[in-house]
Structure 1
Amino acid sequence: MADIEATIEYLEDLELYDNVKPYWCSLPPRDGFDPDKERLDNLEFESRKIQIHDMRFLKDKPRIDVNGFQVFDHTTQISRFEAPEDVARYKSETEELHLKNLGAVYVKCYDMALRTNILFDRTEYDLNDPLHTEGPVRGAHNDISRNFGPQMINKHLPDREKELYMRPGYRFRIINTWRSLLPIVEDRPLALCDSRSVAAADLISCDRIVPEHIGEVYFLKHNSNHKWYWLSRQKDSEPFAFVMYDTKAGPHARFCPHVSFDNPQSSREAPPRESVETRSLVITRE
């Protein structure tokens, strides 16, 4: 495989966002709701043709501290999610993965999302259902903003661990771990943007509104300096780990914009993408 040219969706650079903060509501559908008449966001995207580099054949493999992302070699024991117990087991697997590969002293996998690239036709769903499945997210984004990161740490870190680790000498990161649930993913694979190529002004804060709270993510504005990467014919044993938030100051990677894209090399017979992603609070010594 070689590098490819594909379309990446960016947040459009509109005057609207000079006065109105971007927002996106993730709320259950209700009786009488018509998405063609009542929008749940004010997001407008533009499509750009971008060169996406294949990291499979890079001599120097991307590293989470340098580029913001990394490929792990790991085979999961949970290939299908059919019961809440499968979710709990997968979260535990993810914690063990980061304890081993990132040298963590503490890991808490606090969130998991299942996605598949199909058209959903449903009138109701439960956002608290651990087996709830959604489609791919639109627009290049980073899951956690700098302002929202501390709130997530405070929410998910137990009191005992706060006493142990909320002191000098410890580093807190929020890590997204993304895995294909197919043996090989061709349809709508994930592209990752090298953190070093992203300027602070490219990251636009956006409110993510869910029933229990208002979170904040970053959407990405286009910049010709951005360098994008993917992993051709990514296997289910090649999960991505990429950083969403980092308390350690310095020039290292502290975020990683990402988005799925239409793969021009995908075969017509390729099944719709199925994937699982987790968000974990990872504590290491500085």
Structure 2
Amino acid sequence: MPEAPRSVRATLNYTVDNGIPPDYWFYEPDASVKKNPPGTDVREVAIHDGWPQVAQFSLDREGFELHDFEGRFDQFDDDDSIARQFYPQVIAHVKAHTGAKRVVVFDHTIRKRLPADLSQQTTVQRPAVLLVHSDYTERSGPQRVRDVLPDEADTLLQRRVAFYNVWKPLYQRVEELPLAMCDATTQQDGDLLRMNLNYPDRTGEIYVLRHSPQHRWIYFPQMQAHQALLLKTYDSETDGRARFMGHSAFEDPTTPPGAPKRESIEVRTMAFF
């Protein structure tokens, strides 16, 4: 008989569905504000090794794929070089694996193990997100197109648009805080909870997930720097394909003591078809 896929048991931070939209504040609100933070429903789940089935995963079905990344780049400490040299490689990668006619990169984040204190973070360097979430919602996806491409948005939004994150290690394999993906075929629309992101000058929104025993979690242990995950975080199509895919970093209980700290980059793109 074939060997069963390996899995680990680890905790993921889901969000309680109490009928009130959860919120996250990027500044300290007035003392009268009653916060409703996400991630307070901590659940132990099985997270399955995706390597035995890596060729079978589909962006339009499970919501993610893993491929070798053809480009080569090693100047991740230089934002200008990332934009000039790495972004074109990301665009080529997304086009090759999605068939998109046009791909636009709109930002990137270097993920490391950093303090949760916002004062210790920058706009580019952020800690790994230990929260089950998907980056865009039914409303914030189209709004992002309008924000990034205001002169073209009305025309572009008449056709299919999808957002893909390209997630890859910087220089060495990932041995701690790997990324787990929720198979989108095991999510229900009702599992997605809209969360407000409160900034001093605006309010954005993403989805966080309430727990369901139906969720099937996948990860790729020991990802190498020449490999990249494609994560679908929004799709305008409503024909049954994956539209929003829950994901989260997690503390892998099999990480050996003294393992190198995870360093990865997440590049966010919008693709037009």
The two structures have a TM-score, normalised by structure 2, of 0.88
Write the distance in 1 (CA, Å) between the matches of 2:134 and 2:148: 19
Superposed, which structure 2 residues align to 1:7-156 within 5 Å? Answer: 7-13=11-17, 15=18, 18=19, 20-27=20-27, 42-58=37-53, 61-88=56-83, 89-119=85-115, 123=119, 127=123, 132-156=124-148
What is the CA-CA distance between 1:161 and the residue it aligns to?
A: 7.2
Q: Which runs of 5+ in 2 are unaligned?
A: none
What amino acid sits opposite 1:154 in the alignment?
A: R
SS in 2 for 1:82: coil
State the partner residue of 1:173: 162
Write the distance in 1 (CA, Å) between the matches of 2:118 and 2:185: 41
Q: Which runs of 5+ in 1 are unaligned?
A: 28-32
What amino acid sits opposite 1:83 in the alignment?
A: D
Write the distance in 2 (CA, Å) between the matches of 1:59 and 1:279: 22
Deviation track 1:160-202 (CA, whole Å, cap 9, x = no partner) reads: 5754x444xx310011111111421010000000111011111
SS in 2 for 1:276: strand
Task: Please say which of residues 50-59 and 104-113 is displaced more in the overlay.
Answer: 50-59
Q: 1:224 to 1:122 in 2, by over 3 A?
A: closer
Q: Are the aligned partners of 1:176 and 1:244 in contact in 2 as well (CA < 8 Å)?
A: yes
Q: 1:120 to 1:9 in 2, by over 3 A?
A: closer
What is the CA-CA distance between 1:262 and the residue it aligns to?
A: 0.7
What amino acid sits opposite 1:181 in the alignment?
A: L
What is the CA-CA distance between 1:251 and the residue it aligns to?
A: 1.2
Write the distance in 1 (CA, Å) between the matches of 2:113 and 2:103: 30
How many residue pairs match? The answer is 265
Write the distance in 2 (CA, Å) between the matches of 1:40 and 1:236: 39
Task: Please say which of residues 44-53 and 186-195 is displaced more in the overlay.
Answer: 44-53
Q: Are the aligned partners of 1:191 and 1:260 in contact in 2 as well (CA < 8 Å)?
A: yes
In the alignment, is residue 189 of structure 1 matched against residue 178 of structure 2? yes
Write the distance in 2 (CA, Å) between the matches of 1:223 and 1:143: 19
Write the distance in 1 (CA, Å) between the matches of 2:54 and 2:180: 19
Q: Are the aligned partners of 1:118 and 1:272 in contact in 2 as well (CA < 8 Å)?
A: no
SS in 2 for 1:280: strand
RMSD value over aligned CA atoms?
Answer: 2.5
What amino acid sits opposite 2:77 in the alignment?
A: E
State percent identity of aligned pairs: 25
What is the CA-CA distance between 1:158 and the residue it aligns to?
A: 5.4
Deviation track 1:32-56 (CA, whole Å, cap 9, x = no partner) reads: x7xxxx9976335122111111110
Q: Are the aligned partners of 2:13 and 2:39 in contact in 1 as well (CA < 8 Å)?
A: no
Task: Please say which of residues 117-126 and 253-262 is displaced more in the overlay.
Answer: 117-126
What amino acid sits opposite 1:104 in the alignment?
A: A
Superposed, which structure 2 residues align to 1:237-252 within 5 Å? Answer: 237-252=226-241
Task: Please say which of residues 97-106 and 194-203 is displaced more in the overlay.
Answer: 97-106
What is the CA-CA distance between 1:109 and the residue it aligns to?
A: 0.5
